[in-house]
Amino acid sequence: MAARRAFPKVLARVAGGSLINTTGREALTLLTLVERGSKGVSGLDFPGGPAYRLGAYIFDLRSMGVGIRTETESHGIGSHGRYYLTTEVEIISVDHGSTPTRGVIEEARA
């Protein structure tokens, strides 16, 4: 059986003092936004390959009070979004526990 990927759990303070708890890919997205700072984040900036539902994770973070700006970048066959934090976010704690999250497909045994 292939190992399941564990995603972090993040406790953060958003400018204005509100605390948010994020888990899974939303937590990974928040950490990546904070790490990349003024470079912003696109779907290709994630370890393990592109974040195909990045827009959904951004939507979820916005609903938690995180300010995120979207800019469109063109490339040879279309365009994609690049996301930037517009509010200050302080990461308080990160738990990289080994418990897998929902949505991970388990590979069948050979």
What's the domain range around 48? 9-94
Low-confidence ranges of the chain (pLDDT < 50): 99-110
Number of domains in the chain: 1
Domain assignment present for residue 3? The answer is no
pLDDT digits (tens, 9 = 90+) for 87-98: 999 999 999 875
Domain assignment present for residue 103? The answer is no
Domain assignment present for residue 101? The answer is no
Domain assignment present for residue 67? The answer is yes
Q: For residue 78, what pLDDT is reported?
A: 80
Which tokens go with 76? Answer: 């040879």
Domain assignment present for residue 108? The answer is no
Domain assignment present for residue 109? The answer is no
Q: For residue 3, what pLDDT is reported?
A: 54
Q: For residue 17, what pLDDT is reported?
A: 82
Tell the burial category of 54 from Cβ atoms under 10 Å away from its Cβ (0-12, 13-18, 19+): buried
Q: For residue 5, what pLDDT is reported?
A: 60
Q: For residue 104, what pLDDT is reported?
A: 32
